[in-house]
Structure 1
Amino acid sequence: MDVQELVGNLGISAGAAVSVVVSTTVLYLSFIVLTRSLGQRVLAGFSGFDIVVVIVLGAVLGRAILGHSPTLAAGLIAVVTLLALEGALGWMSSRPRWERLANNAPVLLMAGSEVLWRELRRTHVTESQLRSRLRQAGIRSDAEVAAVVLEPTGTLSVLRRGEPIAPAMLGGVRGAERMPPGLLGT
């Protein structure tokens, strides 16, 4: 490889740079829309198969973003674009007005000992995933559960019976109105 070929591999034309920015932005926004529509569980608790899918997805997205002949400059432009988009999404997430667009709302999956089956199906959480998280929290029976919430991050939070739950703890949780009154504090 001569010096001229090396310089050509590092450079990028203005049109190609715009193409990288546009394709990066479209793919980023598409990914956000798809993960929001599939629910927050898609981003948590990867199985072995999920890890393979993520690797393949990364390879496909990388190739689609960088184009036919990837260069160092195209890679740098893609990274800067992704970080700028992530920064913009972070900024939006910190604003109450835009937070709903950027993040999924937390969802109540168990209200007391009642499993909310419709919410499990809608959020793509299986009963075995729910039971696994209950066991990890040291729950021995449904009677010990005050609430289970699917958080925006995809994790499951388990609240035990005992002390009443402050209503503020369930603020913004979809389905919180289904909580048995005896489990809530004032």
Structure 2
Amino acid sequence: MELFTFSISPWEIILRGTLVFWLLFLIFRFVLRRDVGNLGIGDFLFVVIVADAAQNAMSGDAKTFLDGALLVMTLLIWNLLFDYLGYRFPLVRRFTESASMLLVRNGDIQWRNLRREWITKDELMSKMREEGLESLEQVKEMRLEPDGRISVIRHST
């Protein structure tokens, strides 16, 4: 029956889950924006290590099913709350989701934005080739989208 009791205070579990959720949210929202849409080996390794560290930070001495269930519910509630508030209030959405960023306008590379997001010209040209474009002059707009992907709008021919 110990499986269905709390081994530590439920409030401590909620507080730990809340703190780790916010820490990870801020890291993924403001630091790792460009990489959300692409998951390479280094990114995957980072997520695994973060998950392990977060689990240790969140659980403390948690040992029972109820400890884990409450922790998962705390994270779920924060996630749903962010989604709901972002849907209802544009100000919250601006905080929880980054805006798209212009990378190329009418064939001209926006170097400042590339530097800001650590995107190389080679990465930009690779995306252009993936879209079947041969030169920058064919690009009306290229944007880094909130999900980390790069979208391309061609000039109409």
Q: TM-score, normalised by structure 1?
A: 0.77
Q: Secondary structure at 1:55's aligned position in 2?
A: helix
Q: How many residues align?
A: 156
Counterpart-to-counterpart distance in 1, 2:32 and 2:114: 11
Deviations 1:110-139 (A, max 9, x none): 111111111012123233322221111111
After superposition, the CA RMSD in angstroms is 1.7
Q: Secondary structure at 1:149's aligned position in 2?
A: strand
Of 62, 66, 70, the residue aligned with 2:59 is 66
Structure 2 unaligned blocks of 5 or more: none
Code of the aligned partner of 1:60:
A
Residue in 1 that maps onto 2:29: 36
Q: Which moved more, 1:103-112 or 1:26-35?
A: 26-35
Residues 1:86 and 2:79 aligned together: yes
Deviations 1:22-58 (A, max 9, x none): 1111111111222222252131211112111111111
Residues 1:159 and 2:139 aligned together: no
Counterpart-to-counterpart distance in 1, 2:35 and 2:94: 18
Q: Bigger relative contact order, structure 1 or 2, given CA contacts below 8 A and separation 6+?
A: 2
Q: Secondary structure at 2:39's aligned position in 1?
A: coil
Code of the aligned partner of 1:86:
N
Residue in 2 that maps onto 1:135: 129
Counterpart-to-counterpart distance in 2, 1:44 and 1:162: 27
CA, structure 1 residues 47+24, in 2 after alignment: closer, same or farther (shift >3 Å)?
same
CA, structure 1 residues 120+73, in 2 after alignment: closer, same or farther (shift >3 Å)?
same
Structure 1 unaligned blocks of 5 or more: 1-6, 164-186
The answer on whether the counterparts of 2:62 and 2:68 sit within 8 Å (CA) in structure 1 is no
CA, structure 1 residues 70+43, in 2 after alignment: closer, same or farther (shift >3 Å)?
farther
Counterpart-to-counterpart distance in 2, 1:123 and 1:92: 27
Counterpart-to-counterpart distance in 1, 2:52 and 2:147: 24
Of 39, 43, 56, the residue aligned with 1:46 is 39
Counterpart-to-counterpart distance in 1, 2:144 and 2:43: 19
Q: Which has the larger radius of gyration?
A: 1
The percentage of aligned residue pairs carrying the same residue is 24
